[in-house]
Each structure stands twice: as C-alpha cells, then as structure tokens.
Structure 1
C-alpha cells in the first residue's frame, strides 16, 4: 500500500518564527573581553623628568646634610665666616678692618643670613648649603640628560649627592667655600654646553668670587668654545662675550672693595701660604690620607668609570669626551694648587666625576647601574654614620676657651684669641681685638705647616705693624694663648711675647689654653704702652 512521501528533513526541523516582540532587545555577548590593544611606544607620551627627579635630589641633599645641623659649627672655616659676618655687620670694612685670603661672596652670604635670621645660629647658611648641593645635582642631571638620556640624568644627579658627603665630616658637612662654589662651576659648564657664552662667563666669575680655584672651570669652558664655535668672527664674538661675563663682575667687586686691597688679599698676598717648602713630608702625608678618604667616598662614581676605561666598550670616546676630562684635569690642578690638600678641596672634583661616572654607566648597561647605586649608597651610609658619631673634641675646646673669654671680658670689651679657632669669638659673643682672626695669618701656620716657615717674618706683608698698632691703641681686656705647643706660640713671636710680659697677667689655664688679663694700671692708662714691642 503506497505511503505518503516523507517531508523534507528541513521542514521537520523548522519551527514557526517567534513573534518579534518576544525576541530580546540585545543578545548578551558571552565571549571573553578582548585584550586592550597596546599603543605603540612612539605614541606614548613620556612622563616629565623634573617633577620626579628634582624632589628626589632635594630630599637626598637634605638627608645627606642632616648631620650638619647637629652641631653649631663643624670647622674653623665656619667660625671664621661667622665672626667676619658679625664684624661686617658692626661696620667693619672687608679687606681693611675685616680680612681673609678668600673672595667676598661667602662672607657676604653669611652677613646676609645673619641680617635676616639673626647671628646666634648657622642654620640659615647650612640650609643654603643644602640648596647648593641640590642645585649642582640638578645642573649635572640636565647635562647628562642632554647627552645620554633620562637614565643618565638620574645617575649623575643622585650619585653626585650621595658622593658629596664622602669626606671627613668636618670637610663634608661644613657650610664652607667649596660647597657654595659647586653650583657656579656646574652652571658655567652647563651654559657653555649650550653656547651661552655671556652666562658662562658670569658663572665663571661667580665661582672665582666664591673661591679663587673656582676659576679653573674657565679651562673646560674655553675648550667647549674652541670646539663648538667656528673660527673667525663667530669665535671672536663668543670670546668677547665670555670675557665680558668673566671680567666685569670681578672688576665691579674689586672696585667696591678697593682695587689694591682686593688684589692683595685674594691674589698677591698669599705667596708664603701657597708654598710647601720645608713641610714636604707633612703635606704629602695629608695629601695621601685625604685622597684615600675621597676615593672611598666617591667610589660610586670611580668604580663604573674604572670599569669603562678597562673594558673599553664601543663608543667610549663619544661618551667620555675630552671636554669632561679637561674639566676633571682643571679641577685636579685646583685641588693641588697651594699644596695643602685639605679634605674639602676635593669637592671640586665631584661635578666632572659625576658626569664621567654617568657616562660610564651609559656605556656599561643596566647591571652596572645597580652595582654603582649600591656602592654609592653603602659609601654614603658609612660616611653619614661617621658624621653622626664623630667626636667633638675641638668644638668642646673652643667652647671652653669662649667661656673663659666671656668670664673675664664684658660684652663691650675686646678679646684676642691667639690660635687657630676663630669660632671662639662667635661662641663667646665678644669683639675681636684684631682684624687677624687666626694666628695663621700672622705666622703662616694657617697652611698647616709643621714648624718650618712659621714665624713673624712669614706672615702677611705689613701684618705685624698693623697688629701692633691695633693692640697698642685699644688693648684687649683678655688674651688667650691657645697655641698649645704649636710652632706659633707667643714665646716665638717677639711682639706678642713682649706685650704679654709688659701688660698682662696670667689668671688661669683652660684645657691647655692660657688666659691673660690686662693689668689694672695698663687698663687705666689706655693705649700707647706697647710702643716698644717690635
């Protein structure tokens, strides 16, 4: 019996369409979300460098110099500057009734800080030293970024700050001449690198007016000018702008201070000070010792630089360029000049070393950056620990001497501290009886001599005549012999020996220092009684 044919399979599975109103408005997408496409590196916007780097540099500078605030002062240079500032505020005239062998910018800085914040504390100039370190680090970071990129900027700035305290605490933590010279030297090189020759000259002048050896940065500036400016009229014009920037500020300061006095005290009057004849072994020992300390403190920069020089990676001549080596060589000559090798002199080496170290890390790659950072951090921590636990024997001695001077002399009476600790005047809050704040200016002991070429005939020219006149016209109420067996003892200085024997009596001995007080009859007669003391 015939059967009806099967309907097509497709018709069996077909269903009547659902009414449109029954369909969901939007079917859910059950697929996992596709990963977000990364923008190409070229399309990313780089994060600004300075909002990240500059706060780090300021914070590091503040932390590494925190020990400087733990004491009223760290070395006699700070005491000398503080006493100078008080004398200037009281009407003293720089290079006349207030004298030193240094240019005037730092004494003026101290004077300005005292005028604004009072003269009872050095914290304002210590804060200024923090700013000077941070400013130098920022300039070096800018130079490194321009040459090798952002990583090099971080390396140059951070490693400079960490190394800046890698010296004896008395040298590293003091607010002295070298720390304020560094921003000017870095600014001079920064401006020359950008062919801003007038500004470079002004920065060179600023460095010189902080300390004479700061003018050594002129050599790398001239090298950059010679290398980057075509010969002929362009080079002559650049030299003219650079020369004007260098000369005019120095000439203006010299005119304000008095040409002859400025020239004598900053240039021509230091012949015996700059000689090491007769103290060769003494000077050599100090030089070797402080060089070793500086090498340990600067290890974070010296280690990668030595590795780059030893491995000779490709492109080293294009990174470790001649201008940086010229800057380092000029700074080394400045450190050696005078043959004294005090620890704080080595700070002048740091800016070119920071750039050379950053360039070496750029050549060596990432692993060396970590090694250098660890080395620098460890060295910095060790030196900060040394600063924290360092003894304060000389400061304690200066305080005892100051207390003795204050006991025997009233607030309006003058005192003479015959020694190498001018901070005693500042601590005692008593007026110095002489413009010569240390025995070194009158005996040449300020160069750290070990007995040779120390005496009246080696002092500054005309110094003993002036000193005799000061003490004769207005004799101090108290004289403290703080020589403690040094070669500048009064027994070896005829003028001072006669003055003490004729008009003073010994009243006490304080921590090795001998205190003399003016005899009553001499005090009543006033000046003129020491006329024969030659």
Structure 2
C-alpha cells in the first residue's frame, strides 16, 4: 500500500503564503509611494522647514554643534538624517532626503498593511496600504511633498503600534522615542501603545520595564550626544511663547479651518466609512480611535495648525476606514479606493503645475545675495526663509536662522506678541554678541512689511544705521552692505 506524502508543517505553509502575499503587495506599494511623491522632486525645495534643515545639516557637517552653534525648537533626528544624506550624496540638492521621504512613506504603508492584515485578513492589508498612500498627499503640496519632520514621524508611530500589537514592548518604546526625536508631537502615539499594554496585560513576562527603557534610553542618548541642557531647553522648556494662542486668534483659526478642509477633501474616500465605523462595534478598534484622538491632540499642540501637522492623522484614519470597510458591502471598498485615487490625482496635479511665487522670490534673493558676497562671507537674512542661505551657499552670521526665533513671529504670528521682548529667552544678547564678533558682509531685510521689520526691532535698526548702507532691492527685500571702516556714510 502506497504511503501518502506527509503534509508540510503549518508554519511552513503560513510562511509561504506570507511570502507570496508580500511579494505581490510590496511592488504595488513601492510603485504607489514613488508615484505619489513625484511632485516632491519637481522643486528645489517646498517650504522653510526644508530650508532650515538643509542649512542646519551644512553647519553640522562643518563642525557646528546642535543646540549650541546650530539651534532649533526640534529634536535632532531629522537634522541628523539630512546631515547623513548630504554626507553621502552632497548638499547641493535635496534629492537624497526626498528619496528618504519616499522610503518613509513606503515603510508607513507596509506597517499599516501588516497591522490590518493581522487583524482583518489579506484584503484588509492591501486596502490599508493603498488607501494610506493615496491620502498621504491630500494637503497643500508644500506640506505633503516636503521632506519635513512629520514625514519621518509617521513610520515611527506606525512601528510603535505594530510592535505594541505584537507585544514587543521594548521595540514599541524605542519606536515611540524615535517618533519623539523626529518631532515632539510624535510622542502622542505613546497613549495608544499604553492602551494596548493595559488591554493585553503586558504579556506573561510583563513588558513595562522594557517599554519604559525603550522610550527613555534613546532620548537620553540623544541629549547626551548633543548638549543636555540645550536639548532640554530647545525641545521642551523654551517654547512657551511659540505655543501661545494669544494675539493671532483669527489668523490661526482661519489657517486651521483651511487645512482641515483640505484634509477632508484628501480623505473624501475614507471619511464615509470612518463615520460609519462610529456606529459599528464589530471593528474592535478602540486603540485606533485613541491613536486618532492623540494625533488630533498633536495637531492642536501649539495652536498653529500648519498643514504638515495634519499628516499624523492619516495613518489611524486609513486603519479605521479599513476596519469599517470589512463590515460594509464590497462596493463601498471600490468607492473608497476610486474616490481616494481621484483626490490623489488632483493633489498631484496641484503639486506639479501650481506656481510657487515665494520660492521664485527666494531664488531671486539668493542669486542677488551670492552676487554681492564672496563664498567665505557671512550673511544675515532677516526673515522667515532660511533656505536663502542654502540656495546662495553662504554661511549664516548667527545661529538664529530666522527672525522668528528672535521676535516670536515663528508660526505666522501677526498680532501684538511680535518683537524683541517676545524672542527666545537669552537670544538677543547672544545675537548681538555674534554680530559684534563676526559682522555680516551683507544683511538682507526680507521682512517686507511684516511685524518684525527693522523699524520695529530697535537692536537690529541700530546695527543697520551704525555700519550698513542700502545697496539693492529684490521684490521688496532690501540688501544692506557693510560700510568699510573710515569710509564714511553717504
């Protein structure tokens, strides 16, 4: 009697099925990630955050010290990423970090697909990954296409939820720390991670020490690798004025409503099933709702409502929509995907074809700055476009790369709380000392009538009157060259 062949072990079959599943899905997600990021490569840069990071990276590469000679209100991870990308591929273009942004979006989509597949099956995994990438561009292109802080927060937050879902608490804590080190609001994902820990009891061996260690050790390491006191001040304690809502209520609320409307358009395919999920209890997605709520809190933090803040909403929204679509008729899934694809196409066209007048202005200003200075000269750009330094390839005369840090105009303040007295604590004595020690060869007043114009900033006005003369103008920005000693004033 012929013996029947032994069936392969179940684990082998499952691994083979998983390999086949991902072999089919990964190329699709990779192609979609590349497609949705095409506009990001169409411009030299998209917003001042990219410019700030590019200038920081160059300064760090030439011996600058983060939170000492190079300062910002952000943690160090993304500046380090820029520095590393520039070290490998040069600093003349942001293409290297744009590639990293594509990979960050792809990794986020893969993690969401894995989360959804584990919970609701193969189709749900494909749905979550595809929907996320389609809605990932549903904002003003300067927010969605920039290789900014939030883009690198997203894979960290998705990784934190992925690890927590599997009870890998040390790795979950490390992912939370990475999200915080990309941007402070990334730490919001700690709330749903803790929810999952409590709901599962932390596993048989108890994962709380591992979760705490994973979250704390990388942050302490980053503080020690920079300047602990400076790290604490610039990332936590030194931004009280920046986070204030006073003085710009109407301006900020208008921006918030506009960006909320844009997100609603970009997520038009997701919102109907998510609203439906509010009335459906079979999805078992309590931690996903908490993730969405925590991300909404991250958007509200600081009361600025910039469009790129809203990116943190998209991963939990994609998962919640996927959860709801599992219990809705199949035609709802088709509608959600087609609607999301249509909206995605509209935002991609916006990114590819819409004019960017501010970028054109900054490019002209950088060209004028480069013409009027030598490569070794220090320059001061008094404005909110630090990318001027990068485009002109000139060294900043100060560690404060924008007028916002010195006047609290950061975040688009247009009310009364703008001026010297509202700058970062201790900034003005440091700034005056820097200008005295290394007087810039050129000062570019790019305020163009904003509340931080030199006529409203006595310390800067004194510097201009004492040692500079007007030598040119570019689109309303005024260029002042240093007067040689003994040359006299015109």
Under a length normalisation based on structure 2, what TM-score does the superposition of the two structures give? 0.95
Q: Give distance in 2, aligned partners of 1:182 and 1:287.
A: 21
Task: Kindly report the root-mean-square deviation, in angstroms, between the aligned alpha carbons of the 2 structures.
Answer: 1.7
2:360 counterpart of 1:396: yes
Q: Which residue of 2 aligns with 1:306?
A: 275
Q: Which residue of 2 aligns with 1:472?
A: 436
Give CA deviations for 1:320-343 in whole Å, capped at 9, x if unaligned. Answer: 421111111111001100000000
Q: Which residue of 2 aligns with 1:519?
A: 483
Aligned 8 A contact 1:88 1:111 in 2: yes
Q: Give distance in 2, aligned partners of 1:290 and 1:196.
A: 36
Give the 3 Å change call, closer, same or farther, for CA 147–485 of structure 1 in structure 2: same
Aligned 8 A contact 1:503 1:522 in 2: no
Q: Which residue of 2 aligns with 1:422?
A: 386
Q: Which runs of 4+ in 1 moved over 3 A?
A: 42-47
Q: Give distance in 1, aligned partners of 2:295 and 2:253.
A: 19
Give the 3 Å change call, closer, same or farther, for CA 83–370 of structure 1 in structure 2: same
Give CA deviations for 1:80-118 in whole Å, capped at 9, x if unaligned. Answer: 100011111111100000000000000000001111101
Q: Which residue of 2 aligns with 1:13?
A: none
2:269 counterpart of 1:297: no
2:115 counterpart of 1:146: no
Q: Give distance in 1, aligned partners of 2:487 and 2:120.
A: 70
Shift of 1:363: 1.0
| Match for residue 255 of structure 2 among 286, 297, 312 | 286
Aligned 8 A contact 2:160 2:193 in 1: yes
2:48 counterpart of 1:84: no
Q: Give distance in 2, aligned partners of 1:91 and 1:65.
A: 32
Aligned 8 A contact 1:308 1:363 in 2: no
Consecutive unaligned residues of structure 2, counting only runs of 5 or more, are: 1-9
| Match for residue 355 of structure 1 among 316, 319, 322 | 319
Q: Which residue of 2 aligns with 1:264?
A: 233
Give the 3 Å change call, closer, same or farther, for CA 83–362 of structure 1 in structure 2: same
Aligned 8 A contact 1:320 1:356 in 2: no
Secondary structure, counterpart of 1:447 in structure 2: coil
Shift of 1:318: 3.3
Q: Relative to structure 2, which stretch is displaced further, 446-455 or 330-339?
A: 446-455
Report 1:167-316 matches (<5 A): 167-229=139-201, 237-309=206-278, 312=279, 316=280
Give CA deviations for 1:448-507 in whole Å, capped at 9, x if unaligned. Answer: 111320000111000000000000111000000000000000111111000000100001
Q: Which has the larger radius of gyration?
A: 1
Aligned 8 A contact 2:408 2:422 in 1: yes
Q: Give distance in 2, aligned partners of 1:54 and 1:418.
A: 46
Aligned 8 A contact 2:277 2:283 in 1: no
Aligned 8 A contact 1:78 1:423 in 2: yes
Give the 3 Å change call, closer, same or farther, for CA 484–522 of structure 1 in structure 2: farther
Q: Give distance in 1, aligned partners of 2:247 and 2:486.
A: 40
Aligned 8 A contact 2:277 2:320 in 1: no
Secondary structure, counterpart of 2:485 in structure 1: helix
Q: Give distance in 2, aligned partners of 1:463 and 1:212.
A: 22
Aligned residues: 475
Aligned 8 A contact 1:269 1:460 in 2: yes
Q: Which residue of 1 aligns with 2:333?
A: 369
Aligned 8 A contact 2:112 2:315 in 1: yes
2:407 counterpart of 1:443: yes
Q: Relative to structure 2, which stretch is displaced further, 300-309 or 455-464?
A: 300-309
Give the 3 Å change call, closer, same or farther, for CA 522–167 of structure 1 in structure 2: farther
Q: Which residue of 1 aligns with 2:396?
A: 432
Give the 3 Å change call, closer, same or farther, for CA 522–421 of structure 1 in structure 2: farther
Q: Which residue of 1 aligns with 2:46?
A: 74
Consecutive unaligned residues of structure 1, counting only runs of 5 or more, are: 1-41, 525-534
Aligned 8 A contact 1:308 1:364 in 2: no
Aligned 8 A contact 1:320 1:360 in 2: no
Q: Give distance in 2, aligned partners of 1:390 and 1:228.
A: 49
Secondary structure, counterpart of 1:147 in structure 2: helix
Secondary structure, counterpart of 2:405 in structure 1: helix
Q: Give distance in 2, aligned partners of 1:130 and 1:303.
A: 28
Q: Give distance in 2, aligned partners of 1:416 and 1:306.
A: 50
| Match for residue 372 of structure 2 among 408, 424, 444 | 408
Secondary structure, counterpart of 1:188 in structure 2: helix
Shift of 1:197: 0.3
Q: Give distance in 1, aligned partners of 2:151 and 2:486.
A: 46
Aligned 8 A contact 1:305 1:357 in 2: yes
Aligned 8 A contact 2:156 2:176 in 1: yes
Give CA deviations for 1:397-441 in whole Å, capped at 9, x if unaligned. Answer: 101111111111100011000000000000000000000000001
